[in-house]
Structure 1
Amino acid sequence: MDRKQIIGMVVMLALMTVYFQFFAPEPPVKPVVDETTATESAQVTTDTSAQNSVQELTAEQDSMVSAMQKERYGLFAGFANGSEENIVLENKDVVIAFSNKGATVKNVELKGYKTFEDQPLILLDKVSSHTEMILQSNYKPVNVSELYYTATQESKGDTSVIRYRVAFDANRYLEQVYSLPVSGFQVKYEINLVGLDGIVDNQDVKFNWKNDIKRYEKTFKESRSKTTVYYMPIGEGVDNIGSGDSEAETIASPIKWFTFKQKFFSSGLIADNQMSSAFYSMEANEEDTITIKHAIANVILPVGDLKTGKGKFTYYFGPNDYKITKQVTDGFEENVDLGWKLFRFVNKWLIIPVFNFLEQYISNYGIIIILLVFIIRLILAPLTYTSHMSMAKMKVLKPEMDAIKEKNDGDAQKTQQETMALYQKAGVNPLSGCIPMLLQFPFLLAMFNFFPNSIELRQESFLWAHDLSTYDSIWDLPFTIPFYGDHVSLFTLLMTLSTLAVTWTNSQMNTQMQGPMKTMQYMMPIMFLFFLNSYSAGLTFYYFVSNVVSFGQTALFRRLVDEDKIKLVMEENRKKNVNKKKSKFQQKLDEAMKASEEARKTKKKK
């Protein structure tokens, strides 16, 4: 490098140094940012983004829900959203809550009754009971009990009315109407399909009711055995599906009414016109000690009735009280179990009227039972007297009958013939003692059905019994005796002892009963000791009082019956009947006995 090049590079370096020192632009200054402000700014950006995302997602979900509702409810999809609200109606006897979701009954309380634990008696609630109505719309089933209805309330005289509507417009709507009078256990129920011919198909409507029946009584096992479904087909008698732990039945014929029938309470539906058909079932879980049975009723309602103003029904939520149920509809009183036809007849036309008459003037049911015993015994006194007279006559004839038996030792046919001839001459009918006793049996067994099923005795106390509708326990055993139970019922003990005493007294008069039969008659009271230990205290108390009265009647009849006079009457009858021919009945009886004896001898020879 020459001298000139070196001088040039020095001059350029000097110029660059002066330029950058005095004339070059200042470098850009980095702004100072507050960390809090930066964070908030970032958060705002993030929130805005998230909000936009949520809004987009919500809109998408709403769209999906709307599509699903349209698919599920069809033309009714517009009524699938809402908030549930309850309306409570109350009268003298019941408190009922209704919901606008489905226009259904949600809760029923019976005001005049308590559970065995002294709690309010809730016959059904939203957990235990569920109803649904399914109709066909555009060829698809729609559960209109999932829709939200508009409710209006009004009063018609002393009746409170709730109208629930799903309305497309003023002339097209689905309506469900409930009417509760000022007293009683019946709720009028209407279903109206107004102007919905293009919306609701002409197919019958399904009405489904699931009911987990609650426990209200102390005796769980008995309550379960008494719980079933009662129903009445139109033009037929009342029937039930059975009381086992698993029962089901399909009824193809039209039905007037059905009930979930328990021992003392029922809930059911009654049609003004009819229900086309039904399926009923009852299922019990042995391990479940809270729910008595799980019940189902699936019935078909004629859509034509609902479209023409004939869809009228009545709910019954109330007691199985004969006075009340017989006012509901035909056959409804059979929810009160009064026994077979003959026993039911006695209860219906004698026992219940007398009991209700006494109930008007006496509040103590123990005293009512005592008076009922005296009244029934007075009515049956002629039959009892006839039976006692027959036994007295047999007692007078006993020496002669023993003589005949001794004379014809081993010849049963001849002994029987001569004994019958003795009866005829003395004017004694050997059946005159049995027939009056048989005639008293319907009254005895009618009580067997009346007392355990009489709701009037429920939770009524007398002496040591706290509840005359169930057993009276004076001692709870720490173990269970087969066929007896885990407690001792004092009324049952007293009934058994008094029955044994009455049996012994009658056997002293009854000379016809001999041999093993005389011993067997004492077995029945012992069997009743086991069988009735868990039955109604009212029943066993009635039998005990009845036995005490029997002692008094027997003592009275013995004073009235003069055996010497009976002997004189028999002697006069013998004189009158010396040449009297045998009756046709006696002749046929003799022929039958001869044939039987000949067959026995022939068989013995072989």
Structure 2
Amino acid sequence: MDRNQATGLILFAAVILIYSIFFAQTTEEPIEPIPTETEMADTPQSAQPAIAPIQEVYSPEMDSIQRANYGVLGVYLQGEEETAVLENDKIKVTFSSKGGTIKEVILKEYTSSDGEPLDLLSEDRSSMDFRIQTSRGELSLSSLYLKPSLSSEETEEGKVQTLTFSGATESGSISVKYTLADGKYEVGKSFSVDRYQGVFTGNTVNLSWKDQVKAHEKDLAESRRKTEVTYYLSSGSFENLGVADDLETETAEEPVKWIGFSQRFFTAGIIADSTFQNVTVSQSTPADSSTVRSMQADLQIPFINGAYSLNYYFGPDSYKGLKKVTEGFENNVDMGYFFVSWVNKYIIVNLFAFLENFFNNYGVIIVLIVLIIKLALFPLTYKSYVGMAKMRVIKPEIDELKEKYGEDATKMQQEQMKLFSKLGVSPISGCLPLLLQMPFLFAMFFFFPNAIELRGESFLWAKDLSTYDEFIKLPFTIPFYGSHVSLFTLLMTVSQIAYTHFNNQLTTATGPMKNIGYIMPVMFMFVLNSYPAGLSFYYFVSNMVTFGQQALIKLFVDDEKIRKKVEESKIKNANKKKSKFQQKLEDAMKAADNNRKK
């Protein structure tokens, strides 16, 4: 804690102390007793008094005799709070007997970056307030004292635990039931009311869910970029609030199937049995560095025949795991834009899962993924190399055209096309294979920052492959770079510069096109310095393997043999007629040249 934070805390404590001394002693307003059910029945609806929400009416200072005057629900408003736990090998969920509400959720397989237990939800940061309309006004279900009971049963899928909070009077009963199966992150919930005719009058339950998302990761900035409110519409559309720091609020235009408070590696979600109605979500970024984002969701749950049910998900953002939860839930893992997401969804995720069955070192898994991808793409790499070699061997002919038609760009292009046609060379033959490999290159930019499998996994000097490897801590901050040095990023940069130097010797690029290959690695060094070490390591290994592939191809691809093939194509195509496409292209170029001259 630095001096500014300590000063702020001291001032905050002083303000709280002064407030408690001078303003806490206020006079309570007298509260009118709620009439009994018989009195309510004899009183016309228009004459019944409007009352405050029930959690304000039933204050802890009232004794049991006073509470008894508040009708059939008064018995639920006295008692002692108890806690109960549902627990399996994955999660531990602690509940309060007041309304059967969730107090805390611990993910047992994970810890925060400082080694503390990972509490996905906690009582001091999270709240779920379920409210329902009654004949006496709006009732907060968390005001009701209920009795917990735990049971379990064996099913074909394993052990299922059931935690029930219940209460009963002569007029009816209330039950809140939670279920948790072994090996699952999903918690089922059902709420039901038996009898109590005329007491519960609403046909919806209003839920206000608030959460101050706790910072569990080392890199707060990266966590905030990946933390947002997400939801899924009944029409099948995935929506999110984005990652802006300002307060953002949205109201869903149609029913919603689920809502997620999605973090970088974990999600707390609520899933409707059918749909949620009138959903409004919001989020903002507080100044407090211990909080990633402030999130809130307000919605209505259909309350039919005295009951409603829903499911919670409290767990990791594993793409394959989320896909099994409910429709569209896997979208909480960002797999990239549509033109690269297919690589991650259908290739990388499955390849990663397959290799995990045989290796537990994720650095080795990354190396193997590089080798497998490079081997699969080797035909494209080979074709790209040969295409560049052809352009290299015909460079003398191109230089002659430049000397002859250098001042006439249109004529130069026309003559180049004729030359390429005669020699059987395509100017894009070296670029197109590389272009086809680009989705794999960019897909990793989305996969590694969101791969929970890398969280907490060490390799070489990197303690955690899911965040940057702080090889050197700088005593100052470099703009756009940071206050640390990532060694994997440096290795990636050096390897890319070396590969560019080698590649420039194989191509005909000159001037700015030749130098841009040296500028881009330096730019990426600044961008990736604070990105996960796993990503930089992947790019470093990829550069080295590509360098090795091209060095190997160079041993078997002889420029003299390529030149011989080019000369054979020149003789073969000497009397070849122009294709329709080539003729149209030349006509278009001539027309453009004539317009330019006019």
Aligned residues of 2:132 and 2:202 also touching (Cα < 8 A): no
CA contact (8 A) 1:69 1:77 kept: no
Q: Aligned runs of 1:538-577 on 2, under 5 Å?
A: 538-577=534-573
**Structure 2 residue 596 is matched with structure 1 residue 600:** yes
Moved more, 561-570 or 458-467: 561-570
- Contact 2:179-2:189 within 8 A present in 1 as well: yes
Which digits, 9 at most, give the CA deviation of each residue in 1:379-437, with x for residues without a partner? 11011111111000001110111011111131111111111111111111112212111
1:87 alignment partner, SS class: strand
Which residue matches 2:345?
Answer: 348
Q: Give 2:58's aligned residue.
A: none
Q: Please, which of 467, 472, 476 is the counterpart of residue 475 of structure 1?
A: 472
Find the counterpart in structure 1 of residue 144 from structure 2.
Answer: 147
Query: Out of 561, 569, 579, which is 2:575 matched to?
Result: 579
Deviations 1:11-52 (A, max 9, x none): xxxxxxxxxxxxxxxxxxxxxxxxxxxxxxxxxxxxxxxxxx
Counterpart residue number, 2:498: 501
Matches within 5 A, 1:390-409: 390-409=387-406
Measured in 1, the distance between the counterparts of 2:144 and 2:191 equals 15
Structure 1 residue runs without a partner (length 5+): 1-60
Correspondence 1:109 to 2:75:
no
Structure 2 counterpart of 1:272: 273
**Which one of the candidate residues 327, 330, 335 is aligned to 1:333?**
330
Partner of 2:33: 67
Q: Is the 8 A contact 2:267 2:316 kept in 1?
A: yes
Aligned residues of 1:133 and 1:206 also touching (Cα < 8 A): yes
Aligned to 2:512: 516
Aligned to 1:418: 415
- 3-state secondary structure, aligned to 2:394: helix
**Superposed displacement of residue 486, structure 1:** 0.8
> Secondary structure at 2:292's aligned position in 1?
strand
Task: Give SS of 2:377's match.
Answer: helix
> Per-residue deviation at 1:478?
1.4
Please tell me whether the aligned partners of residues 423 and 429 of structure 1 are also in contact (alpha carbons under 8 angstroms). Answer: yes
Q: Residue 299 of structure 1 aligns with which residue? A: 299
Asked if 1:167 is matched to 2:133, the reply is: no
Q: 2:223 corresponds to which residue? A: 223
Counterpart residue type for residue 89 of structure 1? L
Q: Distance in 1 between matches of 2:577 and 2:78?
A: 95
Distance (whole Å) between structure 2 residues aligned to residue 387 and residue 160 of structure 1: 59
Following superposition, the deviation at residue 592 of structure 1 comes to: 2.6
Q: Contact conserved, 1:179 with 1:188, CA < 8 A, in 2?
A: yes
More helix by share: 1
1:485 to 440, 460, 482: 482
Structure 1 residues 266, 429: closer, same or farther in 2, change over 3 A?
same
Change (3 A) 1:161 1:466: same
SS of the equivalent of 2:461 reads coil
Q: Deviation digits for residues 244-264 of structure 1, max 9, x if unmatched? A: 112221113111111100000
Moved more, 292-301 or 201-210: 201-210
* Residue 283 (structure 1) aligns with: 284
Q: CA deviation at 1:500?
A: 1.0
Change in CA separation of 1:422 and 1:196 when aligned onto 2, cut-off 3 Å: farther
Query: Could you say what secondary structure the match of 2:89 adopts?
Result: coil
Aligned to 1:181: 181
The whole-number CA distance in structure 2 between the counterparts of 1:484 and 1:541 is 18
Partner AA of 1:588 in structure 2: K
Measured in 2, the distance between the counterparts of 1:576 and 1:413 equals: 27
- Whole-angstrom CA distance in 2 between matches of 1:251 and 1:193: 29
* Structure 2 match to 1:58: none
SS at match of 2:505: helix
Inter-partner Cα distance in structure 2 for 1:68 and 1:592: 88
Q: Do the aligned partners of residues 577 and 188 (structure 1) sit closer, same or farther apart at CA in structure 2, a change above 3 Å counting?
A: same
Residues 96, 496 of structure 1: CA spacing in aligned structure 2 closer, same or farther, 3 A cutoff?
same
The separation in 1 between residues aligned to 2:148 and 2:455, in whole angstroms, is 39
Contact 2:93/2:102 (<8 A) preserved: yes
Separation in structure 1 between the aligned mates of residue 33 and residue 402 of structure 2, nearest angstrom: 98
Q: What stretches of structure 2 of length at least 5 have no aligned partner?
A: 1-26, 37-50, 55-69
The one-letter code matched in structure 2 to 1:294 is S
For residues 328-380 of structure 1, the C-alpha deviation after alignment (integer angstroms, 9 at most, x for no partner) is 11111111111112322101111111111111111111111111111110011
The residue number in structure 1 matching 2:13 is none
Give the AA of the match of 1:276.
Q
1:559 and 1:516 map into 2 onto residues whose CA distance is 29
Aligned position for 1:125? 122
What SS class does the counterpart of residue 510 from structure 2 fall into?
coil
State the alpha-carbon separation in 2 of the partners of residues 409 and 348 from structure 1.
49
Write the distance in 1 (CA, Å) between the matches of 2:210 and 2:406: 72
Spell out, residue by residue over 1:32-90, the C-alpha distance to the aligned partner (whole angstroms, 9 max, x if none). Answer: xxxxxxxxxxxxxxxxxxxxxxxxxxxxx999668279944375333222211001121
| Cα distance in 1 between the residues matched to 2:584 and 2:168 | 82
Give the drift of 1:323.
2.8
2:380 to 379, 383, 389: 383
Residues 217 and 103 of structure 1: is their aligned pair in 2 closer, same or farther, counting only changes over 3 Å? same
Q: Deviations over 1:466-509 (max 9, x none)?
A: 10000011111111111111111010011011111111211222
Contact 1:167–1:174 under 8 Å retained in 2: yes
When residues 433 and 63 of structure 1 are mapped into structure 2, their CA distance, relative to the original with a 3 A threshold, is closer
User: Which protein is bigger by CA-based radius of gyration?
Assistant: 1
Cα displacement (A) at 1:174: 3.0
Q: Equivalent pairs: percent with the same residue? A: 46
Counterpart pick for 2:584 among 578, 588, 593: 588
Q: Distance in 1 between matches of 2:196 and 2:572?
A: 90
C-alpha deviation, 1:201, in angstroms: 1.6
Q: In structure 2, give the amino acid aligned to 1:261.
A: S
CA distance in 1 between counterparts of 2:202 and 2:106 reads 37
SS at match of 1:522: helix
User: How many Å separate the matches in 1 of 2:163 and 2:553?
Assistant: 67
2: CA distance, partners of 1:215 / 1:69: 48
Deviation, 1:166, is: 4.0
Measured after TM superposition, the shift of residue 136 of structure 1 is 0.9
SS of 2:281's partner is strand
Aligned partner letter, 2:163: I
Distance 1:489 1:516 in 2: 29
Write the letter of the residue equivalent to 1:400.
Answer: E
Whichever residue aligns with residue 405 of structure 1, its letter is K
Per-residue CA deviation, residues 247-306 of structure 1 (Å, 9 max, x unaligned), is 2211131111111000001101111211123111111112x11111111111111122xx
Which residue in the other structure is 1:8 paired with? none
Q: Distance in 1 between matches of 2:544 and 2:217?
A: 31
- Shift of residue 538 of structure 1? 0.3
* Count of equivalent residues: 536
C-alpha separation between the residues in 1 aligned to 2:331 and 2:192?
31
Cα offset, 1:519, TM superposition: 1.9
Counterpart position of 2:213: 213
Instruction: Confirm or deny: 8 A CA contact 1:259 1:269 kept in the other structure.
Output: yes
SS at match of 1:346: helix
Alpha-carbon displacement from aligned partner over 1:507-565 (angstroms, at most 9, x marks no partner): 22221x33322222322111101000000100000100111111110111111212222
TM-score scaled to structure 1, two decimals? 0.85
Query: Over the residues paired in the alignment, what is the CA RMSD in angstroms?
Result: 2.0
Q: Secondary structure of the equivalent of 2:33?
A: helix
Letter in 1 for 2:201: D
Q: Aligned partners of 1:599 and 1:478: how far apart in 2?
A: 61
CA contact (8 A) 1:247 1:283 kept: yes
Displacement of 1:106: 0.5
Q: Where do residues 4-153 of structure 1 align in structure 2 (5 Å cutoff)?
A: 67=33, 71=51, 72-73=53-54, 75=71, 76-138=73-135, 140-153=137-150
Structure 2 CA distance for aligned equivalents of residues 261 and 197 of structure 1: 40
Partner of 1:16: none
- Aligned to 1:468, the other structure's residue is in SS state coil
Report the CA distance between 1:233 and its aligned residue: 0.6
In structure 2, the residue matched to 1:366 is: 363
